[in-house]
Structure 1
Amino acid sequence: MTFKQIVWKMAKVQYKKYLIYFLCNSFAVMFFFMFSTVYFNERIIEAKKLDGIQDALAVPAVALVVFTVFFISYAHNVFMKRRKSEFGLFMTLGMSHRDISKLLLLENGVIGLCSIVTGIIGGAIFSRLFFLLLMKSVGLEEIPFHFNGSMFLYSIATFALVFLAAVGKSLFFTLKKDVIQSLRSNRTAETIKLKSPLFGGFGLVMMFGSILMLYFSFSKSNGGELLLWTIGVLIGLYISLNQSVSFLIELAKKNKPFYYRRLLLLTSLDYKFKQLTSILMLVTVMIMVTIIYTTLLLTIYQSSEKDAIEGNPYDIAIVQAKTKNNLSSEEISSIINKQDNPIKQHLKMPIFYSIQTLPGVEGYFTNVVISVDDFNKLTSQQKQLQEREYINYINEAPEYVGNSNDDHQELAFNIGSKERTYQQKGMIAVKSINNLSYLHEFIIVNQAEFELLKKNADGFAAEIQLFNVANWKNTADVVEILDKKVKHYSKTAPQIADRAGIPSQQEFFQMASKIDSYQYHKNSSGILFCVISFLSVIFFFGTFILLYLNLFSELDLEQAKYQKLYKIGITAREVKRFISNELATLFFIPLVLGTTLAYLYVAILATDVGGIMKNPEILLHFVIIASGYLCIQAGYFFYARRKMCTNII
């Protein structure tokens, strides 16, 4: 019998391990390709002004790549773990290291190519269904489904790089082992190099201590501190998963009856947690990240209408400079005013862009000046100002503005060769104008000073037109027409100023509306929510497979262990209870840890909007998503427990 015949016969007898390994790789390609059909679809970026959607999808893309690396590498390691003894047998029969290398490359080459083909075919079929459901759920049915080269190139290249790295690593370590080591691989337990209860306690303290530090420093922290404490949480989590059972065993020893009744379970869990630390860490982090993302995105998606109204007090706002190429008020009103959706309010507010030189350096900056009379009409207030007095007006809700209010601060405007100085008489923060660029902060003066500055100071005059209609949700067509006209006039109108720091003509002509803001937030957050939900299913499915493969790849060793326990008097009922407790710990500890960390992060992030108690919808969404995860994980657990008990008892 030739070597080829021996290898072929062994492969036919143990076809299941080849099939599982092939399916794992095929699923990895398919899921990555399905995500690529959304990420690399240019029509999504062009639709509804979703310019930043690809940047927002970058984080899920990185998470998917990281998961793919772990998934493929671990599936390959489990597959190779069962082959080492076979390689030892082949070498005793005369097969050389070169022959083993050829066999490894041939097997993995065939499986890799087949995985790419089936994964791409499966992805092409299911991605269309996924894409159509995704676009329908966020109201973008007009976006067509299509393929492009980037979808195929990145999916195949990512898989190939990870797969080749895993095969190369296995080839290197397999060929380093001699015949005896290979033959004994199935009967040699993995060495646990570190067992320190004190180190486990340190990991728990580090994890929750980092969370506390993040909580106390979050309100005044920057992105660097958030990253720093998150790294601390992850390091503490890894140490805890690796050493926490040793820490618990040390505590349990103080209660002898409790410890001895659970001695077998505790020692087995200690070994399992150290053996499966990477998988448990991956599962915990994926649960934490996906719950945080889906909770926040679902909240944003549900609050799209509220955010559109709060960010845009008027249904439509248009700002234009006083140039010869302008949309007239009559033309704008004729477009907006519809019989079934008439104009209910129309307010015109003159503004003046004062161009100031920067002292000591080359460059300019602008101050937007309005009169106190127009401000009073806008906000229904009764403010009054004297000559050379001003109020600093911030177009933002008070809770998002600092409390600084220096009434003695001076502001100077250049009037010809002289300076005209104004004294601050307070600061007002109120959201009264839509979100328009360069119109976040204003200088309020009285009407006479406003006319003086407009005539004599360096700058240019403009006008903001604000409209309210009967129903802002029916203004999509009107806004689209106005947007095209505004863009057309911005290109044909003369340049306002050609100086550094001054907005260009194209930047200055602009429009902001509730409907645009509503559609943007709803579509972008809706796409992200659906994509994250899709990835959550992939992560859960993938991590369950990895955990399942690891547990059942050593099924013969588990059977041998329990056969020995039967001989010393353990019953089948006790074995079943032991298996159930062990699997429950392995399946639910990552869920509990991931959910707890996710809740703490959501609570910390929610402090920016007043906290969870002031935003109960955030807590509701968290509970819904976490409950869904619990149901999925419970289903996995009951399936694995039944399978394990059936094979062992």
Structure 2
Amino acid sequence: MSFLQFAFNNVGRNARAYIAYFLSSAFMVMIFFTYAMFIFHPGITGSEMGRMTRVGMQVAEYIIFVFSFLFVLYSISSFLKARSKEFGILTILGATSGTINRLIFLENMIIGLLSVIVGLASGMLLSKLFLLLGASVTGMNGLPFYMPWKAMIFTTVAFLLLFLFLSVFTLIFIRKNRVLELLSGSSKPKKEPKTSWLLALLGVGLLAASVMLLQRGSKIGEKEVMLAAVTGVGGTYFFYTQVAVFLIKVAKRSKRMLWRGTNLIWVSEMAYKIKDNARMLFMVTVATSLACMSVGVILSINTQIAKLYAGDPFAINLSVYNESDLKKDLGWIEGQLNKEDIPYETVRTETIQSSVSGGNWVYVELASLTNYNKLAEKAGAAPLDQEIPQDQGVLLYSADDPPKDLLGLEGETVSLESPLSHTFKISEKRPARLFGAGGGKSLIVLNDAAYDKLKRQIPEDESGWLSSDVRFLIKAWDRQGVPSLQDPEVAMTVRLVAENRERLDDGETKNYLSARGDSYANTKQGLSMFIFVGVFIAAIFSISSASFLYFKLYSELNQDRRMYHSLSKIGLADREMKFASGLQIALLFFVPILISGIQTMVVLSLLGSAFNLGEVTVPVLVSTGTFLAAQALYYAVVRSRYMIQLKRVMV
């Protein structure tokens, strides 16, 4: 038998340990190869969306490769630790350190090469499906199948170099150990897990600091977000290494709970398992939290853009910056609508933007009572049917996104600052449809005379604070819900906006056209690309997390087999063994998901107002529930395989 055959046999005989690592690596290669196919596709750079998709795919490639590096590094180190006894026996039989290093190198490269081959083959089999799915999700034209030689070479070189580097790098784990340590393997008695109440308090303090930093609402900045992320990650690490072990030790002091059923077995073992697996659980929690937050943000944004579309009754809006161009611009738009035989109504609106100082600096839009009622009548909304005194104003706000900095001003006197100078009292506040005014946040309606007086105060060089628009109400395009990307409204408004952009570039007009259908389509397409990229990255995180747990359980399998074999001799039944070991495995699988769900809910709830995410509860529950369901599937598979091994040693 040659040395290469010896390495192949070792891989085959340790298939139970290597299978999860192999399948996860092959899945990473497949996804990496799929994205590379998009990047190198000859038809993907022909459109603006194609360039955006290519950039998104490149970012995904970097994320996958970095995560693959960490995943392979952790996996190899786990295998070396689990097989240390084998290496000790080989050393006694005369194998030199160079021979063992060569064996480890060959085994890692065999698995790496097989992963690349299977990943490329799987990617090729599913390539047509991925191209169709990717083109559909990102809103691009159909991408034909092509022979992706560049993608294959790029993927093969990238991952072979990855496995080569890590195979060489991890050899240092073996060189540091003496023969006696290798022979001991996982049989060495474990020391009682130690905790420090100071470090436990530090962990709790870091988590509390992270929450406090995120409570700044709309005032939160990039520094606060980064610092909150650092303190949150640090607090999560100390939670597993200190706080969780400390809580288990406290639970062990309750004899009433500890001496009931099989609690003594699993509670005592959990302290060791949590301590031993703290870093792994920390990595799984952080990776899952990032994935859950990404999915939650995407779902929240998707809900928000649907609300923005549904909340704007006017399909087209022409912002007037040059009155001399207005007549021909209106003629051009009306001609396009008449050509398609689409009935419409128009309404001219005008607002003033100004900053309001009322304890906190915010920007609002001001409208006259007559102008607002004219707009509300066209949109079918309730008008303001009261007279507004000269020195007062009515605050209208979006019920879905109320301006927290202004809601406390009812009955108070506030002042307009740049570019105006005016003081008035907020006489009333009420939710209303704002039709896009103030970015959907707030609008202050004034007496007509007070509004005209403010309008005359605007300096000529600051006329940009005065907004004038012509809005098109097209009832034929009203619907329940949001349109598809192939809807006639979307198709026409996307074309109109593109033509207006060309007219602006050519100097034919200075007026700017926008449309709710075009805005929805652009945001939806960009969001779809992130969904396409994010779903597979989240899948990699999920599968790799399950693989991490499988590796750790396998490395502790021999120790658990010896323990349950001894317990079975003194009367432990199969049912009790399954309950105790199953509960320990369940805690390792599900605690990181639950912690990730709590972190995601807290972070997105606190950041929701700052980044206009709206209601985040449902998106967070959906994202966390999806990961929980996937983890339940992995748990069922791993538990069944683990129980088979433990049942064999029961007397």
TM class, shorter-length? 0.7 to 0.9
Task: Name 1:250's counterpart in structure 2.
Answer: 249
Structure 1 residue 546, shift from structure 2 partner? 2.0
Q: If the length of structure 1 is used for normalisation, what is the TM-score?
A: 0.75
Task: Name 2:168's counterpart in structure 1.
Answer: 168
What pairs with 1:242-391 in structure 2 (closer than 5 Å)?
242-261=241-260, 262-310=263-311, 312=312, 314-319=314-319, 321-322=321-322, 327-337=328-338, 340-343=341-344, 345-348=345-348, 378=375
Structure 1 residue 333, shift from structure 2 partner? 0.7
Task: Name 2:474's counterpart in structure 1.
Answer: 469
CA RMSD of aligned residues (A): 5.0
Structure 1 residue 220, shift from structure 2 partner? 3.5
Secondary structure class of the residue paired with 2:572: coil
Secondary structure class of the residue paired with 1:399: coil
Structure 1 residue 423, shift from structure 2 partner? 5.7
Structure 2 contact 31–536 (Cα < 8 Å) conserved: no
Task: Name 2:503's counterpart in structure 1.
Answer: 489
> d(CA) in 1 for partners of 2:186 and 2:155?
35
Relative to structure 1, the CA distance from residue 57 to residue 108 in structure 2 (aligned partners, 3 Å threshold; closer, same or farther) is closer
Structure 1 contact 376–383 (Cα < 8 Å) conserved: no
Structure 1 contact 197–250 (Cα < 8 Å) conserved: no
Structure 1 residue 580, shift from structure 2 partner? 1.9
For 1:301, give the aligned amino acid.
N
> d(CA) in 2 for partners of 1:221 and 1:476?
35
Relative to structure 1, the CA distance from residue 233 to residue 451 in structure 2 (aligned partners, 3 Å threshold; closer, same or farther) is closer
**What is the CA deviation profile of residues 174-221 of structure 1, one whole-angstrom value per residue up to 9, with x for unaligned ones?**
1233333333335335777x6116257426633652354246433533
Structure 1 residue 171, shift from structure 2 partner? 1.0
1:479 aligns with 2:493: yes
**What is the CA deviation profile of residues 423-469 of structure 1, one whole-angstrom value per residue up to 9, with x for unaligned ones?**
666899998675899xx999999999899999987979997432111
> d(CA) in 2 for partners of 1:227 and 1:187?
43
Structure 1 contact 132–141 (Cα < 8 Å) conserved: no
> d(CA) in 2 for partners of 1:170 and 1:642?
31
Structure 1 residue 342, shift from structure 2 partner? 1.1
Deviates more, 1:525-534 or 1:44-53: 44-53
1:619 pairs, out of 594, 617, 620, with: 617
Structure 2 contact 320–467 (Cα < 8 Å) conserved: yes
Structure 2 contact 319–470 (Cα < 8 Å) conserved: yes
Deviates more, 1:60-69 or 1:637-646: 60-69
Structure 1 residue 244, shift from structure 2 partner? 3.5
**What is the CA deviation profile of residues 216-267 of structure 1, one whole-angstrom value per residue up to 9, with x for unaligned ones?**
4335332322332332222222212123443134323442343355333223
> d(CA) in 1 for partners of 2:421 and 2:22?
76
Task: Name 1:638's counterpart in structure 2.
Answer: 636
Task: Name 1:501's counterpart in structure 2.
Answer: none
Relative to structure 1, the CA distance from residue 187 to residue 341 in structure 2 (aligned partners, 3 Å threshold; closer, same or farther) is same
Structure 1 residue 392, shift from structure 2 partner? 13
Secondary structure class of the residue paired with 1:537: helix
Task: Name 2:362's counterpart in structure 1.
Answer: none
Q: What count of residue pairs does the alignment treat as equivalent? A: 605
For 2:602, give the aligned amino acid.
L
> d(CA) in 1 for partners of 2:596 and 2:310?
35
1:546 pairs, out of 542, 545, 548, with: 548
1:399 aligns with 2:402: yes
1:225 aligns with 2:230: no
Structure 1 residue 352, shift from structure 2 partner? 12
**What is the CA deviation profile of residues 320-352 of structure 1, one whole-angstrom value per residue up to 9, with x for unaligned ones?**
554987744222211123555311x22346899
> d(CA) in 1 for partners of 2:458 and 2:256?
88
Secondary structure class of the residue paired with 2:106: helix
Secondary structure class of the residue paired with 2:242: helix
Structure 1 contact 308–514 (Cα < 8 Å) conserved: yes
Relative to structure 1, the CA distance from residue 54 to residue 292 in structure 2 (aligned partners, 3 Å threshold; closer, same or farther) is farther
User: 5+ residue gaps in structure 1?
Assistant: 354-367, 413-420, 495-504
What pairs with 1:183-222 in structure 2 (closer than 5 Å)?
183-188=183-188, 195-196=194-195, 198-199=197-198, 201-202=200-201, 205-206=204-205, 208-210=207-209, 212-214=211-213, 216-222=215-221
> d(CA) in 2 for partners of 1:463 and 1:532?
40
Task: Name 2:583's counterpart in structure 1.
Answer: 581
Secondary structure class of the residue paired with 1:270: helix
Relative to structure 1, the CA distance from residue 35 to residue 129 in structure 2 (aligned partners, 3 Å threshold; closer, same or farther) is same
Secondary structure class of the residue paired with 1:476: helix
Deviates more, 1:540-549 or 1:205-214: 205-214
**What is the CA deviation profile of residues 397-434 of structure 1, one whole-angstrom value per residue up to 9, with x for unaligned ones?**
9934854898776878xxxxxxxx97666899998675
> d(CA) in 2 for partners of 1:253 and 1:448?
75
Deviates more, 1:61-70 or 1:540-549: 61-70
Structure 1 residue 315, shift from structure 2 partner? 1.1
For 2:68, give the aligned amino acid.
T
Secondary structure class of the residue paired with 2:239: helix
Relative to structure 1, the CA distance from residue 515 to residue 457 in structure 2 (aligned partners, 3 Å threshold; closer, same or farther) is closer
What pairs with 1:126-165 in structure 2 (closer than 5 Å)?
126-133=126-133, 135-136=135-136, 138=137, 140=139, 142-144=141-143, 155=155, 159=159, 162-165=162-165
What pairs with 1:587-626 in structure 2 (closer than 5 Å)?
587-607=589-609, 615=615, 618-626=616-624
Relative to structure 1, the CA distance from residue 218 to residue 45 in structure 2 (aligned partners, 3 Å threshold; closer, same or farther) is farther
**What is the CA deviation profile of residues 509-532 of structure 1, one whole-angstrom value per residue up to 9, with x for unaligned ones?**
422101012222333334434543
> d(CA) in 1 for partners of 2:604 and 2:78?
36
Percent identical across equivalent pairs? 22
Relative to structure 1, the CA distance from residue 342 to residue 178 in structure 2 (aligned partners, 3 Å threshold; closer, same or farther) is same
Structure 2 contact 309–517 (Cα < 8 Å) conserved: yes
Structure 1 residue 119, shift from structure 2 partner? 1.8
**What is the CA deviation profile of residues 561-589 of structure 1, one whole-angstrom value per residue up to 9, with x for unaligned ones?**
32233344434333222212221222222
> d(CA) in 2 for partners of 1:210 and 1:6?
54
Task: Name 1:524's counterpart in structure 2.
Answer: 526
> d(CA) in 2 for partners of 1:633 and 1:146?
34
Structure 1 contact 322–463 (Cα < 8 Å) conserved: no
Relative to structure 1, the CA distance from residue 509 to residue 296 in structure 2 (aligned partners, 3 Å threshold; closer, same or farther) is same
Structure 1 contact 391–425 (Cα < 8 Å) conserved: yes
Task: Name 1:648's counterpart in structure 2.
Answer: 646
Task: Name 1:502's counterpart in structure 2.
Answer: none
**What is the CA deviation profile of residues 104-147 of structure 1, one whole-angstrom value per residue up to 9, with x for unaligned ones?**
333333433342333233234335424533554x5826352678
> d(CA) in 2 for partners of 1:433 and 1:9?
71
Structure 1 contact 392–424 (Cα < 8 Å) conserved: no
Secondary structure class of the residue paired with 1:264: helix
> d(CA) in 1 for partners of 2:134 and 2:371?
46
User: 5+ residue gaps in structure 2?
Assistant: 354-364, 377-382, 478-482
Structure 2 contact 20–547 (Cα < 8 Å) conserved: no
Relative to structure 1, the CA distance from residue 598 to residue 77 in structure 2 (aligned partners, 3 Å threshold; closer, same or farther) is same
> d(CA) in 2 for partners of 1:572 and 1:304?
55
> d(CA) in 2 for partners of 1:396 and 1:447?
22
> d(CA) in 1 for partners of 2:459 and 2:644?
90
Secondary structure class of the residue paired with 1:465: strand
Task: Name 2:89's counterpart in structure 1.
Answer: 89
Structure 1 contact 317–513 (Cα < 8 Å) conserved: yes
Structure 1 contact 341–470 (Cα < 8 Å) conserved: no
Structure 1 contact 297–526 (Cα < 8 Å) conserved: no
Task: Name 1:357's counterpart in structure 2.
Answer: none
For 1:182, give the aligned amino acid.
L
> d(CA) in 1 for partners of 2:102 and 2:491?
65
> d(CA) in 2 for partners of 1:433 and 1:45?
37
For 1:633, give the aligned amino acid.
Q
> d(CA) in 1 for partners of 2:413 and 2:54?
43
Structure 1 contact 369–445 (Cα < 8 Å) conserved: no
> d(CA) in 2 for partners of 1:161 and 1:211?
39
